[in-house]
Amino acid sequence: MQEARIQVRDMVVRFGDNLVLDRVGFDVFRGEILVVLGGSGCGKSTLLRHVTGLATPESGTVLIDGVDITRCGDKDFHRILRKFGVLFQSSGLFGSMTVAENLAVPILEYTGLDEEAACELIRMKLRQVNLQGFENHMPHEISGGMKKRAGLARALALNPEILFLDEPTAGLDPVTAAEIDELIIRINRYNHMTMVIVTHELSSIFAVAHRIIMLDKSARGIIAEGDPVFLKDHSPDERVRNFFNRKANTA
């Protein structure tokens, strides 16, 4: 039996009168890469915000290692928070800080390491994402792909067991995007890290996903789940086949 590290049940998200997600449910299993995909405005990033506890759903539960983060107290929430890292869509780097200073924020706040040990950890995390030597660069001095890797290094700073990534290859050229995909695969493989990735980039989906869930704006929820290679040609839902084959929906 696969162990579900994340269990989402009957999640409802509404903004005013706009119902975005209606009774959404899925599992994420230990060590897998689950990709959340779908067209623009279907609720991918909204779902991620609610699964990571950045927002609270109108109803439903989000269990991480058995703890419902929608209802637990602060002590349990922060204990669970320590288990995961997040790479935000825009990388989330502080523009006024160097790359090393960005990584130092979670390390100094949560580990209690002295300055020398923190610096060594920062160097190690930057080596992990092939960004060694860029400790003293400002975010505006590095490329988009390097910003993504710096954001990834910060997400990995506390050695998380679960990693959430929001559009990790968006806006990157194909070669740089492929490098990010390979980095994600390597981190997953060698650390047996559970990952949830939001993306609509087909090349990345086929490269990294062990399994996908596909959201649809009109359905306000999940319309497909499984192996993207199989779903590309064999999904019973035309919208799913059209997405994977880059075809316009005619309905």
Over residues 96-123, the pLDDT tens digits come to: 999 999 999 888 888 888 889 999 999 9
Question: What are the CA-CA distances from residue 192 to residues 84, 164, 225 (Å)?
Answer: 13, 14, 22
Q: What is the mean pLDDT of the chain?
A: 92
Q: Where are the alpha helices (DSSP H) in the chain?
A: 44-51, 74-81, 99-110, 115-128, 144-155, 174-191, 202-208, 228-234, 238-244
Least confident of 18-32, 78-92, 127-141: 78-92
What is the β-pairing status of strands 59-64 and 211-216? unpaired
Over residues 109-165, the pLDDT tens digits come to: 888 888 899 999 999 999 999 999 999 999 999 999 999 999 999 999 989 999 999
CB of 41 closer than 8 Å to CB of 47: no
CB of 57 closer than 8 Å to CB of 70: yes
Q: What is the 3-state secondary structure (H, E, C) of 83-112?
A: CEEEECCCCCCCCCCCHHHHHHHHHHHHCC
**pTM exceeds 0.75 for this model:** yes
